[in-house]
A and B are shown apart, each in its own frame.
Chain A
Amino acid sequence: RKEVEQDPGPFNVPEGATVAFNCTYSNSASQSFFWYRQDCRKEPKLLMSVYSSGNEDGRFTAQLNRASQYISLLIRDSKLSDSATYLCAVNGRPMNTGFQKLVFGTGTRLLVSP
């Protein structure tokens, strides 16, 4: 099983729609969760961290479900400019060195149309 899994999409939605993505993770000991946004041919940029209590930033809401081991991202009132790929990231199991790397999902592509 992959450490982090996402539906690759694409999710095609009209402007103004609400869309939600999920990201499942396999390491029950994970403590850090993030959503990154990646535009075409650009680098990933942090969209928001995901806290146990959930958090909201404008039209974006992130939630953590530890029992089912997934995080979610909800985008309300979608804009054309929201079209991008959304990557989730979760701290993985320790490697041989003991270091815990951040494991990224392969991303979910969102296309918002007029």
Chain B
Amino acid sequence: NAGVTQTPKFRVLKTGQSMTLLCAQDMNHEYMYWYRQDPGMGLRLIHYSVGEGTTAKGEVPDGYNVSRLKKQNFLLGLESAAPSQTSVYFCASTHKYRTSGVYNEQFFGPGTRLTVL
């Protein structure tokens, strides 16, 4: 199993350009997440999905859109990139909660390093 994969691994954009980050998982996980990680800020949740066709906003959703048309894929879009979106982006997935508040392990992809000039 490949686990969680992300493409691309690196990208440099100019302000105003758009791009899509692709996340794929082969573990049949119901939940998928997009995080960004910045120095001193930790992992911050951008958007998440609890199932195919459903997405919701996390704590820092502005400037990003997502789609989950297939259970195994979760796409993160930047419509008009800004320098503040320079970050490392991680996708993660997990099985749905067994009971409320009791989590399963989150598996992370290798990350995408994005620089916006």
Contacts and interface: CB of A to CB of B under 8 A. Distances in A.
Interface of A: 4, 8, 29-32, 34, 41-46, 49, 87, 89, 91, 95, 97, 99-102, 104-107
Interface residues of B, number: 24
A32 B99 CA distance: 11
B108 A100 contact: no
A64 to B, nearest CB: 14
Contacts of A49: 105
B43 A31 contact: no
A38 to B, nearest CB: 9
Interface string B78-117: 0000000000001000000000111101111111000000
Contact of A32 (B40, B57, B102, B111): B102
B42 A107 contact: yes
A97 B59 CA distance: 12
Contact of B45 (A41, A43, A101): A101
Given A31-B101, A42-B110, A43-B110, A99 B41 contact: no
Contacts, number: 55
Task: Determine the main DSSP class of A at the interface with B.
Answer: loop
B101 A44 contact: no
Interface of B: 33, 40-43, 45, 48, 50, 56-59, 90, 100-103, 105-111
A103 B106 CA distance: 12
B113 to A, nearest CB: 8
Nearest to B44: A104
Contacts of A29: 101
A32 B102 CA distance: 6
